[in-house]
C-alpha cells in the first residue's frame, strides 16, 4: 500500500481517516480530470494554424517581413494596408466526405490567423510587393526615397 497522500487540484488534503475503498466524489472527479486523454481523442484536436512566427529585416532601402506558413497556397493569403497598418491573414476550410456502408462520415477543418503591423512612415506603401515560396511568405516594404540611408561622404573644409 502506498504512503503517498493524494492531493487534489484545489490543494486541500484528503481526509486521512476516510475509507480508501470508497473514494469521495471529489477524489473521483479529480481522478477523471487529472488523467491524460487517450491519443485517439487528442490526435486531431489541434490541427488549426497557430500564430505564425515572423522575421523582420531592415536594410538601407527596405524592410522585409518573412512569415513561416508552410502548407498553404499563395491564394490563401489576404494582405491589406489600411491607414499605415499592414494586415496579413488567411482562412482555410476543408470538408471531406467519405461514403461508407450505412453512414456518411464528414470531417471539417477550419483554420485562420491574422497578424497586423504598424508601418513606419518611411515605407512607400505604393510599392509593397509579396511572394510565397517553399512555405515562406515574404513581403517587401520599400522605403521612401527621402527615408533611404544616404552613403557616407566627406566634406571638404574651405
Q: What is the pLDDT along the chain (158 residues), one digit of tens a residue?
A: 434 444 454 544 444 454 555 556 655 555 555 555 444 444 444 445 578 899 999 998 999 999 999 988 889 999 999 999 999 999 887 766 666 666 666 666 777 889 999 999 999 989 999 999 999 999 999 999 887 777 888 999 98
**Angle at 21 (CA atoms; ends 17, 24), nearest 5 degrees:** 70
Residue 89 lies in a domain: yes
CA 79 to chain centre: 17
Domains identified in the chain, total number: 2
Q: How far apart are CA 88 and CA 117, in angstroms?
A: 9
Residue 48 lies in a domain: no
State whether 70 and 136 are in the same domain. Answer: yes
Residue 47 lies in a domain: no
State whether 59 and 137 are in the same domain. Answer: yes
pTM over 0.95: no
Look at residue 95 in the predicted model and tell me its pLDDT: 64
Look at residue 152 in the predicted model and tell me its pLDDT: 87
**Angle at 52 (CA atoms; ends 49, 58), nearest 5 degrees:** 160
Cell of 39: 491519443
State whether 16 and 59 are in the same domain. Answer: no
Strand 85-99 relative to strand 104-118: parallel, antiparallel, unpaired? antiparallel
User: With 0-12 CB in 10 A as exposed, 13-18 as middle and 19+ as buried, what is 27?
Assistant: middle
Whichever domain contains 115, its CATH number is: 2.60.40.790
Amino acid at each position: 500500500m502506498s504512503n503517498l497522500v493524494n492531493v487534489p487540484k484545489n490543494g486541500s488534503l484528503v481526509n486521512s481517516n476516510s475509507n480508501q475503498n470508497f473514494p469521495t466524489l471529489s477524489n473521483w472527479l479529480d481522478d477523471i480530470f487529472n488523467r491524460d486523454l487517450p491519443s485517439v481523442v487528442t490526435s486531431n484536436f489541434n490541427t488549426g494554424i497557430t500564430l505564425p512566427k515572423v522575421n523582420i529585416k531592415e536594410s538601407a532601402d527596405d524592410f522585409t517581413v518573412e512569415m513561416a506558413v508552410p502548407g498553404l497556397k499563395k491564394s490563401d493569403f489576404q494582405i491589406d494596408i489600411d491607414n499605415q497598418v499592414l494586415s496579413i491573414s488567411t482562412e482555410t476550410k476543408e470538408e471531406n466526405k467519405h461514403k461508407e456502408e450505412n453512414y456518411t462520415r464528414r470531417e471539417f477543418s477550419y483554420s485562420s490567423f491574422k497578424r497586423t503591423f504598424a508601418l513606419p512612415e518611411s515605407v512607400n506603401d505604393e510599392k509593397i510587393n509579396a511572394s510565397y515560396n517553399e512555405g515562406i511568405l515574404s513581403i517587401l516594404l520599400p522605403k521612401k526615397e527621402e527615408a533611404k540611408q544616404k552613403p557616407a561622404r566627406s566634406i571638404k573644409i574651405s
